[in-house]
Amino acid sequence: MSLVPAQQFFPMGTEYVSWEAWNGAFIEWFGEQPIPFSSEEDWRVTASAIAGLPNFAVYPVPDDTVFDTWQDWASQVTAAINGPSNY
């Protein structure tokens, strides 16, 4: 019998939250990682830092430069971490 490795899960969508709330929840959820807290205007700083962390290399964390808004980028990051939705 083989064990399936536990998948990470991040329970924060982007639909009804501010950048500060999403960024803060991400830091809280993945607190062992050096994730910076930034203002909404500087969301790309945090996005770039997350993409560069070795622990997130197993997920297809998208390049922030192809997104116009933090919501679109963060939605893709959340989906990458959580996997396909069953809803």
pLDDT tens-digit map of 40-61: 999 999 999 999 988 888 888 8
pLDDT of residue 10: 57
pLDDT beyond 60 at 4: no
Q: Is the pTM of this model over 0.95?
A: no
Q: Please tell me the distance from the alpha carbon of residue 76 to that of residue 63, in angstroms, as a whole number.
A: 10
